[in-house]
């Protein structure tokens, strides 16, 4: 299974690590690994891919402003190909207009965003709705990735 990392521009991306501390009401953020993007969004041919995974964190806040990223997302929904995301990733889905009448979850503070966009917020993980697999935050990664990989292998019901 081949995969590529796409970003607004083909460049080195600074990742971050979110963690939960007992005395904090939300996550903390620390610098993570640097990662070279394989492609810019403009270079992505969504026809060439079986699935799309949108990571969480702060990147979706910026990715949702990229018209080509939204086109890519819409392709996967129109073609009914697997899409996985968690945490703040659903911000990209709401901006692309693909959550109406869908069941999904995101980081808890995104509940109003999901509902305003016409989706139903379900506080569980993974939430699988057709071709879409979602989770709340990084602790849901194992369950979300397992369900996403299952959709890639077995196809969308």
* Torsion angles phi and psi, residue 90, rounded to 5: -60, -10
Question: Which residue in 2, 3, 4, 88 is the catalytic one?
Answer: 88
**CB atoms inside a 10 Å sphere around CB 154:** 9
Please check whether residue 91 is in contact with residue 113, taking contact to mean a CB–CB distance below 8 angstroms.
Answer: yes
**CB atoms inside a 10 Å sphere around CB 107:** 23
- Rounded CA separation 41/144 (Å): 24
Which residues have C-beta within 8 Å of that of residue 125, sequence separation ≥ 6? 86, 105, 134, 135, 136, 140, 143, 144
Which single residue is written with the structure tokens 């991306």? Answer: 13
88 is catalytic: yes
Please check whether residue 37 is in contact with residue 11, taking contact to mean a CB–CB distance below 8 angstroms.
Answer: yes
Catalytic residues: 88
């Amino acid at each position: 299974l081949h995969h590529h990392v796409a970003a607004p521009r083909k460049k080195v991306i600074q990742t971050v690590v979110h963690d939960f501390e007992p005395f904090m009401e939300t996550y903390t953020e620390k610098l993570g690994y640097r990662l070279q993007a394989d492609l810019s969004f403009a270079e992505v041919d969504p026809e060439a891919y079986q699935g799309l995974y949108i990571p969480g964190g702060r990147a979706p806040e910026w990715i949702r402003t990229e018209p080509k990223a939204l086109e890519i997302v819409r392709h996967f929904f129109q073609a009914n190909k697997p899409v996985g995301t968690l945490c703040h990733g659903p911000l990209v889905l709401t901006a692309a207009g693909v959550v109406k009448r869908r069941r999904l979850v995101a980081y808890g503070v995104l509940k109003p965003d999901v509902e305003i966009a016409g989706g139903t917020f379900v506080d569980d993980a993974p939430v699988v709705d057709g071709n879409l697999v979602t989770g709340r935050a990084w602790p849901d990664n194992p369950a979300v990735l397992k369900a996403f990989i299952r959709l890639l292998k077995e196809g969308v019901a």
